[in-house]
Structure 1
Amino acid sequence: MSSSRSENGMLILDVDMITFTAIGAVLLILGTWIVRRYEILWKYSIPGPVIGGFGFSLLMWGAYELGLFEFQYDNTLYDLFMYVFFVTIGLSTGVSILKKGGKLLLIYMLVCWFLAILQNGISVGAAWLTGINPLSALMAGQASMQGGHGMAASLAPLIESFGESNALTIGMAASTYGLIAGSLIGGPVGNWLITRKNLKIQTDTDDLNALASEIEEKKTAITWQNVLIEGSLIFVILSIGLPTAQWITNVTGFSIPGHIFSLFLGIIFRSINERTSWVPMTDTAMDMISNVSLNMFLVMAMMKLKLWELYDLALPLAVILVLQTLATMGVAVFILYRLLGKNYDAAVMSAGFIGHGLGATPNGLVVMNAICTKYGVFSRKAFIIIPVAGTVLTDIVGVPIFVFLANLLGN
């Protein structure tokens, strides 16, 4: 581990890629253990990598404040985990899911896309009101709200490329708020809809049987052959997507991150492969690769946080997050609930929408589970639609919007 001195005399310790990854893996295991150990963390779906990585960043904050040292990381494997995660999102999204999801999935997806536009608009608009850089504020929009920690950390480098070094810290702070707020607010809103509207506690699933069957059929046992084939496919897509995105950026001047371009290559390949079956693919193996890459990438992102960069942004960030909360609640109650049919299923999905729209898909599931447990009726529609839409489909529009706005504001 080499070292140097910053301009202000701070000791800078250079952490190589293997050591960075090793520390991250240990923190991931520790964070996962802590979440399982303490019920309140499990209850609000706080991810293990967030706990492990955030605890480490708190220690680094203390070291910085005491003038002891600061870490500088080799991002080689950090970037690789991020790239792999994005390609798995694309390879998990096929046309057949959209076709078999029916009207309800389409409605939910369209409202999610509307919310993505709204959340980005709120963050940029509030930036001008509070006097902070709109590029920094953009990290408190759709990227960290609907996107969560993983998406915020993935999109932060784009904002940083325009000179905003605090992008990652803002995104992680906003995402953490969203996890907690979505979990706390979604349930009460869903319960209010049910009691205020005197809804009948009943549900039906007939129109989603095709989608449920497809999801179940693709859950097969994981073998090393599955992992090898799909892992190889991921690297082939990256080998095409990364240089192509760089070429487009150089030719057009429009900054397109390589992992974002590779995501859409994954979607195209998945849609073609559903018809041709060129490559044998299983959702189980793809989910495993996705989860490993996401968790490693996320814990390493949390380790890199420079919490001292939030000193001057605390109040503007709080204003933006309050506005995001109110807007998400409003969309859930006044738009989504009505479009989904104004019934028990609609109320459950609207509650889950708040959990997902502010935090992440697991938060939406926790909120819906609490409501269904209270009323004793399981809404199968909700537990099919929200994971499908929240995990992959919302990013199809949300990510390009973010990239467009970042280029518009940064150039």
Structure 2
Amino acid sequence: MIVEVSTLTTLLLAMVVLFVGKLINRQVSFFRNYDIPEPVTGGLFVSIIIAILHMRGISFSFDSELSSALLLAFYSSIGLSARLSTLIQGGRALMVFLGLLIVLLLLQDFMGITIASMLGLDPVVGLIAGSISLTGGHGTAIAWAPQLQEAFGVENAVELGAVAATFGLVLGGFTGGPLAERLIRKYKLKSNSKEHITIGSRFNEEHELIDAQSTMFALFMIVLAMVLGSYISDYASSNGLFLPEFVGCLFAGILITNLLPLIVPRLQWSGATPSLAMISDVSLGLFLAMSLMAMKLWELAAMAGPLLVILAVQTVMILLFVYFIVFRVMGKDYDAAVMSSGFVGIGLGATSNAMANMTAVTQHYGASLKSFVVVPLAGAFFVDIANSVVLQLFMDMLN
């Protein structure tokens, strides 16, 4: 029996997932102390219940109509929080971070192909369990499946990619925070920023006044960035440049928050406000909750074995790479620790996973504005272009 879940009911269940995650993190100190994102905790718990119901013959089909709008709202709020001074400071860090991501793409594909060959599998399976699904996520895995089927005859490329991407999404959420926690405690790192954190609010802090007027104005700015972002993406596409809509919203937010005070000096808009952070937190939480509660864990069980061996090796590899290389190259400071958690999120899931990891860390230890500029810019746009080039390189080698 398949239960069709409407848009509003999907939203209601996503809220339940968030409340469950908050309850678990509040009751289980491990999840709270090691900065496991609440949507990941609640999403995995609910997806296990859904998997049990599936085994009893009850399946669910969730409506994802609101999911894309929440993602656009989230990236718009990130752009609105980015001041020009922070962007200038993050310029060099962005290039270095992107360079490290390109190295990771090469390592993931090389490692996947090597382990698959050692296990007697088709090397293409290792490529699927590499940067296609891990750094690329579900969208990239689905997008590349037809080409893999045509070039290599891999008939179950979609299923393999979905399993690998799901595995990465879960592991990325459960390992990024603890890794940053380890780095922060070992090197006694502290946030030097006096700004309000980009998403949500810190644990156990007194909340600044969030009234109806400030919330309405922040919401207006987000919707304005979403509308402008859609026009930016459409214009880029009409001129032969594929620009995902959420990247357009990110750029639109950056333009608005930096140009608006110059155009209308009397307008009181500082960018990173508590109201904006609250809306951003809710948008990201609901988006992740919708994504995670819709996971089909039974597909993991159905395709376990050698594929999971490859994914386990990939997970260990990226954690070692981030701990010993990324953290040190990025400056070995608090911002580097926060970006390290984001790096794990990108390498084992998606940019939204990275943002959830960094949100959990900053709610615990304080703001890191540079991280919330560098990571989404690198992970939301540039890495997809680099991944396409790297994947084509390895596909040519396998041919």
Q: Which TM-score band applies after superposition, normalised by the shorter structure?
A: 0.7 to 0.9
* Counterpart in the other structure of 2:226: 238
Relative to structure 1, is the Cα distance of residues 277 and 134 closer, same or farther in structure 2, using a 3 angstrom cutoff?
farther
Q: Distance in 1 between matches of 2:2 and 2:170?
A: 28
The CA RMSD measured in Å over matched residues stands at 3.7
1:210-255 per-residue CA deviation (whole Å, 9 max, x = no partner) reads: x647989xx9632322222232232233233335525644663x64
Aligned partner of 1:157: which letter?
Answer: G
Relative to structure 1, is the Cα distance of residues 52 and 212 closer, same or farther in structure 2, using a 3 angstrom cutoff?
closer
* Counterpart in the other structure of 2:343: 357
Look up the SS of the partner of 1:388 in the other structure: coil
Q: Distance in 1 between matches of 2:28 and 2:248?
A: 39
CA contact (8 A) 2:67 2:290 kept: yes
1:136-194 per-residue CA deviation (whole Å, 9 max, x = no partner) reads: 63366557xxxxxxxx6xxx4354344446666644532442444345455656777x6
Q: Distance in 2 between matches of 1:47 and 1:180?
A: 8
Q: Which residue of the other structure, out of 8, 28, 35, is the alignment partner of 1:38?
A: 28
Normalization by structure 1: what TM-score?
A: 0.70
1:250-299 per-residue CA deviation (whole Å, 9 max, x = no partner) reads: 663x6432112221122222222243346543522211110111111111
Does 2:40 match 1:50?
Answer: yes
Count residues in correspondence. Answer: 346
Relative to structure 1, is the Cα distance of residues 403 and 261 closer, same or farther in structure 2, using a 3 angstrom cutoff?
farther
Look up the SS of the partner of 1:292 in the other structure: helix
* Counterpart in the other structure of 1:7: none
* Counterpart in the other structure of 1:326: 320
Relative to structure 1, is the Cα distance of residues 388 and 231 closer, same or farther in structure 2, using a 3 angstrom cutoff?
same
CA contact (8 A) 1:183 1:366 kept: no
Q: Distance in 2 between matches of 1:308 and 1:213?
A: 43
CA contact (8 A) 1:158 1:406 kept: no
Aligned partner of 2:282: which letter?
Answer: V
* Counterpart in the other structure of 1:393: 374
Q: Distance in 1 between matches of 2:67 and 2:139?
A: 12
* Counterpart in the other structure of 2:217: 229
Aligned partner of 2:220: which letter?
Answer: S
* Counterpart in the other structure of 1:293: 283
Taking every aligned residue pair, what percent have the same amino acid on both sides?
Answer: 19
Aligned partner of 2:246: which letter?
Answer: H
Q: Which residue of the other structure, out of 253, 256, 261, is the alignment partner of 1:269?
A: 256
* Counterpart in the other structure of 2:139: 157
Q: Distance in 2 between matches of 1:191 and 1:404?
A: 35
Listed as ranges, the matches of 1:37-116 within 5 Å are 37-66=27-56, 68-99=57-88, 109-116=94-101
Per-residue deviation, 1:355:
4.1
Q: Which residue of the other structure, out of 115, 120, 125, is the alignment partner of 2:110?
A: 125
Structure 1 range deviating more: 277-286 or 396-405? 277-286
CA contact (8 A) 2:128 2:160 kept: no
Per-residue deviation, 1:352:
5.2
Per-residue deviation, 1:327:
1.2
Q: Distance in 1 between matches of 2:246 and 2:299?
A: 26
Aligned partner of 1:261: which letter?
Answer: G
Q: Distance in 1 between matches of 2:223 and 2:184?
A: 43
CA contact (8 A) 1:12 1:70 kept: yes
Q: Distance in 2 between matches of 1:347 and 1:189?
A: 9
Q: Which residue of the other structure, out of 117, 130, 146, is the alignment partner of 1:137?
A: 130
Normalization by structure 2: what TM-score?
A: 0.72
Aligned partner of 1:272: which letter?
Answer: L
* Counterpart in the other structure of 2:5: 15
1:103-141 per-residue CA deviation (whole Å, 9 max, x = no partner) reads: xx6665554333333333333333333332646633665
Look up the SS of the partner of 1:256 in the other structure: coil
Per-residue deviation, 1:63:
2.9
Q: Distance in 2 between matches of 1:240 and 1:347?
A: 35
Structure 1 range deviating more: 80-89 or 173-182? 173-182
Aligned partner of 1:94: which letter?
Answer: R
Structure 2 unaligned runs (5+)? 117-122, 146-157, 199-206, 346-356
Look up the SS of the partner of 1:45 in the other structure: coil
CA contact (8 A) 2:197 2:362 kept: no
Q: Distance in 2 between matches of 1:215 and 1:23?
A: 27
* Counterpart in the other structure of 2:384: 403
Look up the SS of the partner of 1:394 in the other structure: helix
Aligned partner of 1:241: which letter?
Answer: G
Q: Distance in 1 between matches of 2:46 and 2:196?
A: 41
Q: Distance in 2 between matches of 1:179 and 1:317?
A: 15
Relative to structure 1, is the Cα distance of residues 277 and 161 closer, same or farther in structure 2, using a 3 angstrom cutoff?
farther
CA contact (8 A) 2:77 2:253 kept: yes
